């Protein structure tokens, strides 16, 4: 059993803390937000993640997990301190490191013995050296410490299994011994462990996220071309995915990437490159394509009706992805603003993220369920691919709408089925042939003949 402190109980921090506790360590989770810590003490989670509440309760009950707002209490006696605070985008896309700085300064003033400080936050290349300088200059008296980079690769909605069954653990350090000690914490996870230098470890995180974002933007670019040429992007992606060099993951055409990681990390990587005189052309294109997805979705709605003034539009799903309540960089935010600017009346529904959505989207009305959303609507727009939306009573949905139309930003329905049911249906990358005729209608005609 090791004594571990995790600074920050946001998405990465709370998952890191509870999982290390579940592995048998004694973990103290620290945050300067009094309300958040008090909530955790009372069983109120700061995020939605399947199984998290039960896991926290189990480890608190076993006296392996505790919460505090005091650095002196949290750092005293710790062998490892993980920094897992936010690194939001700054004005020019750079990562804002004010929370990392504050954490490093407080750790330096509170440590009472040798300590391994582990950067878990996604930080710019060179931050490990910078954190070491901050700790060294803020120590009341010299105490040995080491800085190790251990970037996270968690997906919202499956963060606990991602932590417990990782594809790899990446560690970076100036000296090998502290990295090997951090590796010992991860041995029971039975995944490959890569030990490298600090800057390379930090770069691996950015390169990984930028590559995945590139796959998403690539398939969305292909979706645009499919629409022009009459091909089906879902079939194209399936055919591509069988190639082991490509793989099937992150090839779902739709509204682009969102959330807390991809948008800020791609921007931060671009900023780092430009600061060093490099021109990251591909990364710029990835960002442009992603931004354009929201505009194209609204154009599909306008193609159905022309003038959107007074049209009642319902957004099915509001969070940036299913199985999370996270609204950060959610496509629905931009889509709602564009629709409202065009004169539409916008309502929304989400199975989990309604409270967070209402806080950042006060201009839209929330519906109690998908059927209440459909009632009286001119069109529904699928923004998030929640499983429950795939199993809706579409006949009931159709009959509740003023004029049954669905713009499917996530391609969750079958175009032929939707056409046969009487919907004006517009998916992504699989709707129009070269003659401008909807593919769904053409398929339905062929099937009926």
Three-state secondary structure call for residue 321? coil
N-terminal to C-terminal alpha carbon distance within the chain? 70
Strand partners, 26: 3
- Its sign, for the CA torsion 383, 386, 387, 391, is negative
HSE (CB half, 13 Å, CA atoms) of 179? 20
Closest Cα to residue 18, out of 300, 34, 43, 262? 43
Nearby residues of 370 by Cβ (< 8 Å), 6 or more positions away: 316, 349, 388, 389, 392, 397
The full DSSP string for 200-217 is: HHHHHHHHHHHHHHHHHH
Distance set, CA 362 to CA 79, 343, 345, 374 (Å): 45, 16, 13, 20
Query: Counting Cβ atoms within 10 Å, is residue 368 exposed (0-12), middle (13-18) or buried (19+)?
Result: exposed
Query: Any catalytic annotation for residue 261?
Result: yes
CB 406 within 8 A of CB 418: yes
Which of 19, 226, 261, 383 is flagged as catalytic?
261
Beta strand extents in 65-196 (DSSP E only): 65-68, 80-83, 115-119, 145-149, 169-173, 193-196
Beta-ladder partners of 381 = 315, 407
Spatial separation of the C-alpha atoms in residues 122 and 204, rounded to whole Å: 10
Catalytic residues: 261
């Amino acid at each position: 059993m090791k004594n571990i402190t995790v600074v920050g109980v946001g998405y990465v921090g709370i998952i890191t803390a509870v999982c290390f506790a579940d592995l048998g360590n004694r973990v103290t989770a620290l945050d300067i937000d009094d309300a958040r810590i008090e909530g955790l003490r009372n069983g109120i989670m700061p995020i939605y993640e399947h199984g998290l509440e039960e896991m926290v309760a189990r480890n608190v009950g076993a006296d392996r997990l505790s919460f505090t707002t005091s650095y002196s209490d949290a750092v005293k006696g710790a062998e490892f301190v993980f920094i897992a605070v936010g690194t939001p985008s700054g004005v020019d896309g750079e990562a804002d490191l004010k929370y990392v700085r504050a954490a490093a300064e407080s750790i330096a003033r509170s440590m009472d013995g040798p300590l391994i400080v582990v950067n878990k936050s996604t930080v710019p290349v060179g931050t490990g050296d910078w954190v070491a300088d901050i700790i060294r200059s803020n120590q009341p008296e010299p105490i040995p410490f080491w800085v190790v980079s251990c970037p996270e690769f968690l997906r919202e909605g499956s963060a606990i299994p991602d932590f417990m069954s990782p594809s790899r653990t990446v560690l970076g350090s100036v000296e090998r011994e502290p990295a090997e000690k951090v590796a010992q914490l991860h041995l029971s996870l039975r995944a490959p462990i890569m030990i490298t230098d600090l800057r390379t470890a930090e770069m691996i995180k950015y390169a990984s996220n930028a590559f995945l974002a590139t796959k998403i933007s690539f398939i969305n670019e292909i979706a645009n071309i499919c629409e022009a040429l009459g091909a089906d992007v879902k079939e194209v992606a399936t055919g591509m995915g069988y190639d082991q060099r490509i793989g099937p993951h992150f090839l779902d055409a739709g509204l682009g990437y969102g959330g807390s990681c991809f948008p800020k990390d791609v921007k931060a990587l671009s900023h780092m490159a430009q600061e060093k005189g490099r021109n990251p052309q591909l990364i710029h294109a990835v960002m442009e394509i992603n931004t354009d997805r929201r505009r194209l979705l609204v154009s599909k709605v306008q193609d159905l009706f022309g003038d959107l003034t007074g049209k009642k539009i319902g957004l099915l799903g509001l969070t940036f992805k299913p199985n999370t309540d996270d609204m950060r960089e959610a496509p629905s935010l931009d889509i709602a603003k564009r629709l409202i600017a065009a004169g539409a009346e916008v309502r929304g529904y989400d199975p989990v993220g309604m409270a967070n959505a209402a806080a950042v989207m006060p201009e839209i009305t929330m519906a109690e369920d998908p059927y209440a959303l459909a009632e009286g609507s001119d069109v529904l727009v699928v923004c998030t691919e929640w499983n429950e939306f795939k199993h809706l009573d579409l006949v009931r949905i159709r009959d509740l709408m003023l004029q049954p139309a669905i713009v499917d930003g996530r391609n969750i329905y079958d175009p032929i089925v939707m056409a046969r049911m009487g919907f004006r249906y517009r998916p992504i990358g699989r709707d129009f042939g070269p003659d401008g005729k909807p593919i769904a209608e053409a398929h339905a005609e062929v099937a009926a003949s």
